[in-house]
Amino acid sequence: MTKKVLVTEKLAQAGLDRLAEKGLQVDVKLKMSTDELIEAIPDYDALVVRSATHVTREVIAAASKLRIIARAGVGVDNVDVEAATEAGIIVCNAPTSNIVSAAEQTMCLMLACARNTAQANASMHAGEWSRGKFCGSELYEKTLAIFGLGRIGGLVAERARAFGMHLVGYDPYCSPERAEQLGVALYDNMEELLPLADFITVHLPKTDETIGMFGPEQYAAMKDGVILVNVARGGIYNVDSLADFLAAGKIGAAGIDVFEDEPCTQSPLHEFPNAILTPHLGAYTYEAQRRAGVQIADYIAAGLEGSVVPTALNMAPVPPEVMDAVGPYVPACQMMGSMLAQLGGEVPKRLSLTASGKAAPADATILMAGTLQGLLSYKNLATVVTPVNAEAVARRHGIRVDTGAHASAGAYSSSVTVVADGREIGCTLSGEDQHVRLISLLGYKVDIAPGPQALIFQYEDRPGRVGTIGSILGDAGINITTMQIVNDPEAGQAIVYMNIEGELDDSVLAKLRENLEDLKNLWYVKL
């Protein structure tokens, strides 16, 4: 039976043609409401969207045949990826389709702001010849600060270098080797970087950390007359305070292509002629639209055939024989990656993974991809890791990865162990529901199911420690749900893994540190 694809937003004709070439039936139904989509979706095997269609949990629940959701672009904020994963539906995108277009739009806005191009154009159309009002600035030998040195930030660096600009950057996840390759002087904190820049451009994902990342304090620290550009995600610059600093002349100009709420027809920036505003044109070129359409068509065909989809966001498109052996361990590896990120603080230089027992014969690439996803997404939710790009992602972040296998998992039928710069975590799956259990932690043998939040203590083993911990947590209204204590008599050390319930703040952690003598480590882990 011919498989059916529903396209709810405009897709380049080349993409529609490619779908037809693959033998798929394509129905284009634009501007569907959520209710209309819920009614229609049961008939379709694949869904193609852009940014306007909201693929909610309710839509996914109604999609009885759906096997793949494809976003013809980069961001998937409008797709409930968790619900799709639970339903076994692949979610993919076309993350490289528009990177050149976005980089060029960044340079376009930088130049327009520097040379007063939009204002001069408006003056000419008004019948004026006011050359004296529009004296601009060169990019040559100016300092450009790039926040985010991923694919688009890297392309901007290459182009800005061709203009003779001095490049500085901030990206906690960029390796020094990559920054050096791009010709960017990498800084560890924003405070040192902000006063240096004549131009600032952001190429960051939309996360809790990046929304409002630039506000009054950051604007005040910038060089007088600085030019700001945003072709990434709306909300990274606090628009209200940006308008205040434009009005005061502290910020010379701003080129803004993206907004928190789109379409945006009114904002505090609209009254300023030196705020160059464009309606989300970063990816909107003929080339990018065609590229996205063709890529998405190929990914849909691969997903419906059961092949690997290179940009799958939820790791679903893996051959059945691999999924049977290691598939249940993927969320466990994501959990271990997240935990290692919280235990170590920094992105590790080396990451190794060993699959043992029944998990040993299978390709461990998917497990490493899951581990990297958990590790990198703890603070950078936009990082997408699949078995196809795991090695490249690791290399980009300066991580050396390797995998191994052991025929025996000891007392367990199977297990997976991950080591990041010497910090080790191991887990197994238990019961019919394949629940995750930690079986090793930092060299200690444990056996406990991790909860949503936990405290991990490492201290000199002495009587009364657990009582002190319990009293402090009890006074703060924190409930201990499960706990395990493991001793190392030779070292005189003990480790405590404690699942907890309740809101735990920094003051409680500080009190624990103050009252526990010879405390070696204390970690608060959220999973």
Stated as kind and residue range, the H or E segment containing 433 is: none
Report the sign of the C-alpha dihedral through residues 180, 182, 183, 185, in that order: negative
Pairing of strands 479-488, 493-501: antiparallel
Cβ atoms of 126 and 174 within 8 Å: the answer is no
Catalytic status, residue 158: no
Pairing of strands 400-406, 414-420: unpaired
Tokens of 61: 């629940």
Length of the chain: 527
Which residues touch 95 (CB under 8 Å, ≥6 apart)? 74, 151, 311, 384
Quote the CA–CA distance of 383 and 396 in Å, as a whole number: 11
Quote the CA–CA distance of 21 and 34 in Å, as a whole number: 29
Cβ atoms of 40 and 29 within 8 Å: the answer is yes
Which residues touch 130 (CB under 8 Å, ≥6 apart)? 120, 123
Q: How far is CA 471 from CA 64, 216, 462, 511, in A?
A: 51, 41, 16, 11
Quote the CA–CA distance of 225 and 276 in Å, as a whole number: 15
CA angle 31, 37, 38 (to 5 degrees): 160
Stated as kind and residue range, the H or E segment containing 89 is: none
Quote the CA–CA distance of 216 and 242 in Å, as a whole number: 8
Q: Which residues of 397-424 are buried (b: 16+ CB within 10 A; e: fewer)?
A: bbbebebeeeeebeebebbbbbbbbeeb
Which amino acid, residue 194? L
Residue with tokens 């909610």: 56
Residues 138, 209, 262, 321: which is the catalytic one?
Answer: 262
Residues 71, 233, 397, 465: which is the catalytic one?
Answer: 233
Catalytic status, residue 233: yes
- Give me the helix-helix angle, 151-162 and 99-115, nearest 10°: 50
Residues 161, 280, 290, 395: which is the catalytic one?
Answer: 280
Tokens of 263: 């379409």
Quote the CA–CA distance of 419 and 517 in Å, as a whole number: 28
Stated as kind and residue range, the H or E segment containing 382 is: none
Q: What are phi and psi of 310, to 5 degrees?
A: -60, -30
Catalytic status, residue 262: yes
Q: Which residues are catalytic?
A: 233, 262, 280
